[in-house]
Amino acid sequence: MTLSLAQMRRNYTRAGLPDDLTCDDPQALFHEWIAQASETENAPFEANSMALATVDSQGRPHCRILLLKGLSEEGFIFYTHYLSDKGEELAGNPYAAMTFFWPGLERQVRIEGRVTQLDPQDSDDYFASRPLASRLGAWASPQSQALASREELELRMVDTRERFASQEPPRPPHWGGYCLHPQRLEFWQGRPDRLHDRLDYRLHDGVWVRNRLAP
Ligand SMILES: Cc1cc2nc3c(=O)[nH]c(=O)nc-3n(C[C@H](O)[C@H](O)[C@H](O)COP(=O)(O)O)c2cc1C
């Protein structure tokens, strides 16, 4: 059976990125866009969800959705299992790419750069702010490992609840944050007739150089 999606098309008309846009700091522009996306996008869509691509030791890319949990001077922060597939991939090759898509605003942002593990204290602070079940889940789930059944996962959670019945679960050593330090950001705004706007920022010797790219 084949499926054709060739007739699915729409025209993008909401906004534009003018040539005289006075923003030399792409992180400030990202801040503005994600704030607008959080106000505009409809629940249950999460404006902070993004696709994160990493590359394994054989040069093969892997991509999955994650939640952005912070934006600092250094970059874009997310949390995960350090021994997951993505954790192993980042240990071998620290370069990654993130893509955000905000359909309500007809916008995409692509971010590329080098990823480092967060300072353990920052991971501890974020972990402590999570709901108890999420903290227990970080202990119970060996992310990306094969499980014999759903029951195995649920039994692991029961064991974890017992283990931490009388104490707060600390952050597991295998779980924490990463920061993607951006070297490139591209802002895409859908425009009519496929003549979309693309603004590309690249870091050269510590200075952001901006170019308009053809759509
Ligand atoms: C909306 C959404 C949000 C997610 N957020 C996270 C997250 O913040 N951290 C995380 O480790 N996995 C998150 N996941 C699960 C990942 O997509 C993925 O299944 C998991 O991290 C394992 O990936 P890996 O095996 O490539 O390491 C999310 C999935 C969805 C659909």
Q: Retrieve residue 111's tokens.
A: 């971010």
DSSP state of 105: G
Q: Retrieve residue 209's tokens.
A: 């150089």
CA–CA distance from 95 to each of 48, 50, 75, 83, 201 (Å)? Answer: 20, 16, 13, 17, 17
- Tell me the C-alpha distance between 56 and 64, whole Å: 14
* Residue of 45, 55, 60, 64 with the most ligand 1 atoms within 8 Å of its CB, for mutation: 64
DSSP per residue, 30-72: HHHHHHHHHHHSPTT--TTEEEEEEE-TTS-EEEEEEE--EE-
89 CA → ligand 1 middle, Å: 14
Mean pLDDT across 137-151 = 97
Residue with tokens 């874009």: 76
Q: Are 116 and 72 in contact, with CB atoms under 8 Å apart? A: no
Banded pLDDT at 152 (limits 50, 70, 90)? very high
Indicate the class that CATH gives domain 26-130+173-212: mainly beta
Least confident stretch, 4-18, 87-101, 134-148, 167-181: 4-18
Average pLDDT, the chain: 94
DSSP state of 73: S
Domain ranges for the chain, please list them: 26-130+173-212
Q: Are 188 and 197 in contact, with CB atoms under 8 Å apart? A: yes
* Residue of 48, 66, 83 with the most ligand 1 atoms within 8 Å of its CB, for mutation: 66
Q: Retrieve residue 137's tokens.
A: 């889940």
pLDDT in tens, 21-70: 767 899 999 999 999 999 886 655 789 999 999 999 999 999 999 999 99
Banded pLDDT at 2 (limits 50, 70, 90)? confident
Q: Which residues line ligand 1 (CB under 6 A)?
A: 46, 49, 62, 64-67, 78-81, 84-86, 143-144
115 SS3 class? strand
Residue with tokens 């952001």: 208
Ligand 1 atom nearest the C-alpha of 54 is 26
pLDDT in tens, 58-107: 999 999 999 999 999 999 999 999 999 999 999 999 999 999 999 989 99
